[in-house]
Chains A and B, each alone.
Chain A
Amino acid sequence: MTVSAAESPLFEFLLRQGDNALVLGHRTSEWCGVAPVLEEDIALANMALDLIGQTQLWLGYAGEVEGAGRTADDLAFLREVYDYRNLLMLEVPNGDFGRTQMRQFLFDAFQVPWLTRLQDSKNTRVAEIAAKCLKEALYHLDRSSHTVIALGDGTEESNRRMTDALTFLWPYSGEVFKDDATDNAMAEAGVAPLPSDLHSVWLETVERVLTEACLTLPEGAFAQSGGRTGFRHTEHLGHMLAVMQTLQRSYPGATW
């Protein structure tokens, strides 16, 4: 049973934060053991673990707010596709290493100013979680932006791959800025700023890094949507959850 946004915008808001971290964390973990070089493999595993740690904080609090006795694990492993509230960009398959890095960068460029603002939330739990996550996000942004620059400004092939990655991801990148009723409720309550308020600072970071990476900002403001509202996920999320949730689905309540 999901509480509707109208009933508890805070719960909805927390699911969005937690599901973004969870889905990106799981996607990132898919690189474990198969990344192009050992050093990147370990870095990606670290990043995945950071994100799963953030998930525990957000979804743990979401469970408390919901008040139905669900834990972070219950929310992560026992919800269906349509209950997820993550951005579509984070659930699409990793693609090549370049696309994974480009996605991480586009997300980090939002997360850093977003979490910075959330530190001033009137909800102290939100402020505390944001402060903890921000330290990790700052490192992630440092790493992903340098990697995007290195690959964009690298060889002919790496530049072509990064251009392809950007072309593929760009239509997904605008979803986060589409304010809705939940965002308005959070802004009114002083819990969070409106995501649309952060668009210009996000774009500034993206333009600066892409320019240094010899990549061209794609034109067009069309943005896919439906992930963070749960209205319509891509076909890929169900497949991802099938893998991610298989243990809890097969052996309910299993612990270690």
Chain B
Amino acid sequence: MTHENEWPLWEVFIRGQHGMSHRHVGSLHAADAEHAIRNARDVYTRRNEGVSIWVVEAGKITASNPSDKGPLFDPARDKVYRHPTFYDIPEEVGKM
């Protein structure tokens, strides 16, 4: 099979039974978005994992560059005060 004949790659996101947001679960090949949803249903929800599916063509995702890791993420390292661990959260607030 030549490359041009291959279906594009899609990234699959599933919202689980108890999950609050969609999570990336993997990727698959499909001819179009509808096809990707059906394939995702068969590949990733056969053990009752999900209640909602998102698919996005892998090429449409803009990702950060691994070599930019330093400038992007290092500055946050020494700013522990940004973590909410210094506060007691009242129980009535529930899940955050």
Q: Which A residues are within 8 Å of any B CB, using their own CB?
A: 37-39, 42-43, 46, 139, 142-143, 146, 150
Nearest residue (CB) in B for A37 is: B29
Q: Check if B56 is an interface residue, CB within 8 A of chain A.
A: no
Sorting the interface of chain B by its residue count into under 10, 10 to 19, 20 to 34 or 35 or more gives 10 to 19
- A150 touching B29 in the complex, CB below 8 Å, given contacts A39-B43, A43-B38: no
Contacts of B43 in A (CB 8 A): 38-39, 42-43
CB-based contact A43/B29 at 8 Å: no
CB-based contact A39/B30 at 8 Å: yes
Contacts of B35 in A (CB 8 A): 146, 150
Contacts of A46 in B (CB 8 A): 42, 46
Nearest residue (CB) in B for A143 is: B38
CB-based contact B42/A42 at 8 Å: yes
Q: Smallest Cβ distance from A101 to chain B, in angstroms?
A: 13
CB-based contact A39/B31 at 8 Å: no
CB-based contact A39/B46 at 8 Å: no
Task: Mark B3-15 against chain A: 1 for CB-CB distance below 8 A, else 0.
Answer: 0000100000000
Nearest residue (CB) in B for A43 is: B42
Contacts of B34 in A (CB 8 A): 146
Contacts of B38 in A (CB 8 A): 43, 142-143, 146
Q: Smallest Cβ distance from B34 to chain A, in angstroms?
A: 7
Beyond contacts A39-B29, A42-B43: 13 other A-B pairs, Cβ-Cβ < 8 A, are A37-B7, A38-B28, A38-B43, A39-B28, A39-B30, A39-B42, A42-B42, A43-B38, A43-B43, A46-B42, A46-B46, A146-B38, A150-B35
Task: Mark B35-62 against chain A: 1 for CB-CB distance below 8 A, else 0.
Answer: 1001101110010000000000000000
